[in-house]
Amino acid sequence: MLGNLDFSVIPASLPFILTGLLFSLRLTLVAMLGGVVIGTLLAMARLSAFPALAGAATFYVNTMRSIPLLMVILWFFLIIPLITGRPIGAENSALITFTAFQSAFYGEIMRAGIQGVPRGQVWAGQALGMNYWRVMGHVVLPQAFRDMLPVLFTQTIILFQDTSLVYAIGAKDLLKAADIAGKNYNRPIEMYLFVAALYLVICLSLSILVRRLQRRIAVLR
Amino acid sequence: MIELDRVMKWYGEFPVLTDCSTQVAKGEVVVVCGPSGSGKSTLIKCVNGLEPFQRGRIVVDGISVGDPATNLPRLRARVGMVFQHFELFPHMSVRHNLTIAPVKVLGRSRDEAAAKAASLLERVGLAAHADKFPGQLSGGQQQRVAIARALAMDPICMLFDEPTSALDPEMISEVLDVMVALAQDGMTMVVVTHEMGFARNVADRVIFMDHGRIVEDAPKEEFFGQPRSERAQAFLARVLRH
Amino acid sequence: MAYHWNWGIFLETVSGGDERYLDWLLSGLGWTLAVSLAAWGLALLVGIPIGALRTVRRRWVVALATAYVELFRNIPLLVQLFLWFFVVPELLPRELGLWVKQDMPAKEFITASLCLGLFTASRIAELVRTGIETQARGQRMAAQALGFSALQTYRLVLLPMALRLILPPLTSEFMNVIKNSSVAFAIGVIELTFVARQMQEESEQGIETYLAVTVLYFVTAFLANRVMALIERRVRIPGTMGGGR
Nearest CA in chain A to B81: A127
How confident is the model over C149-175, as a mean pLDDT?
85
Partners of C87 on chain A (C-beta within 8 Å) are 189, 192-193
Alpha helices (H) along chain B: 40-47, 72-76, 94-104, 110-123, 139-151, 169-184, 196-202, 220-225, 230-240
Give residue-wise pLDDT tens across range B198-213: 888 889 999 999 899 9
List Cβ neighbours of A115 (8 Å cut-off, separation of 6 or more): A47
Res B71: pLDDT: 87
> Higher-confidence residue: C142 or B191?
B191
Q: What residues of chain A lie within 8 A of the CB of C179, using their CB? A: 66-69
Which residue in the set A68, A85, A161 is minimally distant from C217, CB to CB? A68
Q: Which long-range contacts (CB under 8 A, 24 or more apart) does A29-34 make?
A: A30/A95, A30/A98, A30/A99, A31/A95, A31/A98, A31/A99, A31/A101, A31/A102, A31/A159, A31/A163, A32/A102, A32/A106, A32/A156, A32/A159, A34/A99, A34/A102, A34/A103
Q: How confident is the model at residue C239 (pLDDT cuts 50, 70, 90)?
A: low
Burial class (CB in 10 A: 0-12, 13-18, 19+), B92: middle
What are C's interface residues with A at a Cβ cutoff of 8 A?
1-3, 70-71, 73-80, 82-83, 86-87, 90-91, 94, 97, 175, 178-183, 185-186, 193, 196-197, 200, 206-207, 210, 213-214, 217-218, 221
Q: How far is CA A153 from CA A96, A150, B63, in A?
A: 20, 5, 48
| Spatial separation of the C-alpha atoms in residues B33 and A162, rounded to whole Å | 59
Q: How many Cβ atoms sit within 10 Å of the Cβ of residue B230?
A: 9
CB B241 within 8 A of CB B220: no
Pair B224, B194: CB distance under 8 Å: no
Q: Would you say B82 and B161 are in contact if contact means Cβ atoms under 8 Å apart?
A: yes
In Å, what is the CA distance from C18 to each residue of A113, B93, C34, C191, C206? Answer: 54, 74, 24, 19, 21
d(CA B226, CA B215): 14
Q: How many helices (H) and strands (E) does chain C have?
A: 12, 0
Query: Least CA distance to A182: which residue of chain C?
Result: C86
* CA–CA–CA angle A145, A151, A156 (5° rounding): 100
Higher pLDDT, C142 or B46: B46
Taking contacts as CB-CB distances below 8 angstroms, the residues of chain C near A84 are none
Contact A138 B81 (CB under 8 A): no
* C109, C189 Cβ separation under 8 angstroms: yes
Burial status of residue C106 (CB atoms within 10 A of its CB: 0-12, 13-18, 19 or more): exposed
The full 3-state SS of chain A, as one line of letters, equals: CHHHCCCCHHHHHHHHHHHHHHHHHHHHHHHHHHHHHHHHHHHHHHCCCCHHHHHHHHHHHHHHHHCCHHHHHHHHHHHHHHHHCCCCCHHHHHHHHHHHHHHHHHHHHHHHHHHHCCHHHHHHHHHCCCCHHHHHHHHHHHHHHHHHHHHHHHHHHHHHHHHHHHHHHCCCCHHHHHHHHHHHCCCHHHHHHHHHHHHHHHHHHHHHHHHHHHHHHHHHC
Model confidence at C245, pLDDT cuts 50, 70, 90, reads very low
ipTM of the complex model: 0.87
Residues of A in contact with B98 (CB under 8 A): none
At C106, the pLDDT band (50, 70, 90 cuts) reads confident
Is the four-CA dihedral A174, A176, A181, A182 of positive or negative sign?
A: positive
The pLDDT assigned to C228 comes to 87
CA of B82: which chain A residue's CA is closest? A124
Contacts of B79 (CB under 8 A, 6+ apart): A127, B47, B48, B60, B155, B156, B157, B158, B159
**What's the rounded Cα separation, in Å, for the pair A215 and A206?**
14
What does the alpha-carbon distance between residue B162 and residue C160 come to, in Å, rounded to a whole number? 46
Return the closest-CA partner of residue A105 out of A167, A25, A159, A161.
A159
> A85 touching B, CB under 8 A?
no
Quick one: pLDDT at residue C243?
Answer: 39
Q: Determine contact: B78 vs chain A, CB below 8 A.
A: yes
According to the model, what pLDDT value does residue A3 have?
59
Q: Tell me, what's the pLDDT at C154?
A: 84
Confidence of residue C2 (pLDDT cuts 50, 70, 90): low
- CB distance from B77 to chain A under 8 Å? yes
The residue type found at C175 is: M
Determine whether the interchain pair B104/A134 forms a contact, defined as Cβ–Cβ distance below 8 Å.
yes
Mean pLDDT by 10 residues, chain A (221 residues): 68 87 94 96 92 93 90 91 85 93 94 92 94 94 91 92 92 90 85 92 92 79 53
pTM recorded for the entire structure: 0.81
Closest chain C C-alpha to A53 CA, distance in angstroms: 23
Strand-strand pairing, B2-11 and B14-24: antiparallel
CATH of C9-235, one of 1.10.3720.10, 3.30.70.980, 1.20.1250.30, 2.120.10.30: 1.10.3720.10
Euclidean distance between CA atoms B143 and B195, whole angstroms: 16
Query: What percent of chain C is modeled with pLDDT above 90?
Result: 37
CA C60 from chain center: how many Å? Answer: 28
Contacts of A193 in chain C (CB under 8 A): 83, 87
Tell me whether residues A126 and B79 touch, CB distance under 8 A: no
What is the Cα–Cα distance from A142 to B128, expressed in whole angstroms? 26
* In chain B, residues 22-51 whose CB comes closer than 8 Å to chain A: 45, 48, 50
Per-residue pLDDT for B166 more than 70?
Answer: yes
CB proximity A121 to B under 8 Å: yes
DSSP lists the bridge partners of residue B15 as B10
From chain A residues 93-122, the ones with a CB under 8 A of any chain C CB are none
What are the two backbone dihedrals, phi and then psi, of residue B84, each rounded to the nearest 5 degrees?
Answer: -60, -40
Does B contact A via 3+ CB–CB distances below 8 Å?
A: yes
Q: Find out whether A35 and A44 touch, Cβ atoms under 8 Å.
A: no
